[in-house]
């Protein structure tokens, strides 16, 4: 038996509305699903932006308030005391120099990120570059009773293609960092390992080590594992971020492995000539 059913206008309207709504929900769901990663990225970038502004304000606040305090003391009569004014002026000068270093480091990072940094790639001897930095840091290492040395005798030259001044800064930042976080009477070892077309450089300390949860963020601007100790050592909190940018500008990457209580090893590669 065949039965005829009549579809009213109201039934048609309801079905049309339901179909349109269902299609819209599907479109919205697909759009959200497609852009979920972008939303997460934007949210993370906003978090980093807030952290960066907060960290920058904190880093500048200390030298600004310190400098302001000593200058006010001088203006209130301390300048008439020769034993006081020179000491206070030197402390105020240190605060200004610290602010200048932070701004200079930020300027360099900004140029790297906007690809406006000037690079001079030439053939250079890696051993000589490292030896120059080790010599310049000898007094600092001695004060900390830390021995900075090559892990073995390397015959110069080990030729690499690099920007000499930038790679010198990499060694400077990494060795200073290693010395700062080393225990007294310990050793910082520097190794060069032949990898065919590349040279692997390792800088290893016997310091306090870094927890695994910090490793992924270690090269971020102003990120500090031990905030109080890092500021006491006088760093800007930008040294490792600059190192990362310099190595990446050479077409390579830098990594770190570490164990708490056993020390850390920073390692990167450069192209051989």
Cβ-count burial 234-251 (b if 16+ within 10 Å, e if not): ebbbbbbbbbbbbbebbe
Q: Which residue has the higher pLDDT, 212 or 175?
A: 175
Q: Give pLDDT, residue 38.
A: 72
Ranges of each domain in the chain: 20-114, 122-271
Euclidean distance between CA atoms 224 and 60, whole angstroms: 15
Q: Give pLDDT, residue 105.
A: 86
User: Mean pLDDT in the chain?
Assistant: 83
- On the question of pLDDT at 16 being above 70, the answer is no
13-22, 32-41, 77-86, 118-127: the lowest-pLDDT one: 13-22
* Mean pLDDT calculated for residue range 7-22: 54
Q: Give pLDDT, residue 70.
A: 83
* Mean pLDDT calculated for residue range 12-21: 54
Q: Which residue has the higher pLDDT, 6 or 70?
A: 70
Q: Give pLDDT, residue 19.
A: 61
Q: Give pLDDT, residue 6.
A: 53
Q: Give pLDDT, residue 61.
A: 79
Q: Tell me if 70 sits within 8 A of 88, measured CB to CB.
A: yes
> pTM score, two decimals?
0.73
Euclidean distance between CA atoms 55 and 31, whole angstroms: 35
> Would strands 122-125 and 159-162 be described as parallel, antiparallel, or unpaired?
antiparallel
Please report how the helices 126-136 and 164-180 are oriented relative to each other, as an axis angle in degrees rounded to 10. 50
Q: Give pLDDT, residue 45.
A: 63
Q: Which residue has the higher pLDDT, 68 or 193?
A: 193
Q: Give pLDDT, residue 77.
A: 78
- On the question of pLDDT at 11 being above 60, the answer is no
Q: What is the CATH number of domain 20-114?
A: 1.10.287.130
Q: Give pLDDT, residue 89.
A: 84
Q: Give pLDDT, residue 17.
A: 54
Q: Give 60's pLDDT tier (boundaries 50, 70, 90).
A: confident
**What proportion of the chain, given as a percentage, has pLDDT over 70?**
81
Euclidean distance between CA atoms 23 and 33, whole angstroms: 15
Q: Please give the C-alpha separations between residue 243 and each of 36, 105, 206, 237, 256, in angstroms, as whole numbers.
A: 32, 11, 21, 12, 12
> Would strands 198-204 and 122-125 be described as parallel, antiparallel, or unpaired?
unpaired
Q: Kindly report the CATH class assigned to 122-271.
A: alpha beta
Q: Tell me if 154 sits within 8 A of 196, measured CB to CB.
A: no
* Mean pLDDT calculated for residue range 172-198: 93
Euclidean distance between CA atoms 273 and 214, whole angstroms: 35
Q: Give 79's pLDDT tier (boundaries 50, 70, 90).
A: confident
Judge residue 194's burial from the number of C-beta atoms within 10 Å of its C-beta, 0-12 exposed, 13-18 middle, 19 or more buried: exposed
Same-fold call for 20-114 versus 122-271: no
- What is residue 214's three-state secondary structure? helix
């Amino acid at each position: 038996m065949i039965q005829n059913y009549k579809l009213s206008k109201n039934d048609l309207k309801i079905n049309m509305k339901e179909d349109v709504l269902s299609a819209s929900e599907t479109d919205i769901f697909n759009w959200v699903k497609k852009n979920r990663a972008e939303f997460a990225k934007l949210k993370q970038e906003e978090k980093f932006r807030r952290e960066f502004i907060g960290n920058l304000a904190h880093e500048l606040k200390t030298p600004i308030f310190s400098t302001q305090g000593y200058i006010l003391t001088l203006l209130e009569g301390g300048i008439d005391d020769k034993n006081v004014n020179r000491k206070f002026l030197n402390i105020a000068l240190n605060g200004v120099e610290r602010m200048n270093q932070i701004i200079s480091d930020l300027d360099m990072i900004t140029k790297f990120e906007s690809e406006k940094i000037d690079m001079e790639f030439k053939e250079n001897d890696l051993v000589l570059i490292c030896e120059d930095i080790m010599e310049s840091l000898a007094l600092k290492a001695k004060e900390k009773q830390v021995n900075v040395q090559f892990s073995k005798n390397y015959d110069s030259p080990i030729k690499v293609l690099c920007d000499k001044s930038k790679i010198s800064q990499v060694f400077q930042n990494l060795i200073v960092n290693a010395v700062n976080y080393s225990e007294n009477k310990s050793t910082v070892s520097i190794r060069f390992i032949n990898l065919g077309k590349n040279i692997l450089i390792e800088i290893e300390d016997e310091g306090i080590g870094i927890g695994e949860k910090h490793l992924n963020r270690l090269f971020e601007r102003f990120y500090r594992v031990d905030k109080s100790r890092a500021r006491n050592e006088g760093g800007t909190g930008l040294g490792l971020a600059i190192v990362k940018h310099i190595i990446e500008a050479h077409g390579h990457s830098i990594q770190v492995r570490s164990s708490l209580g056993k020390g850390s090893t920073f390692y990167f590669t450069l192209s051989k000539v």
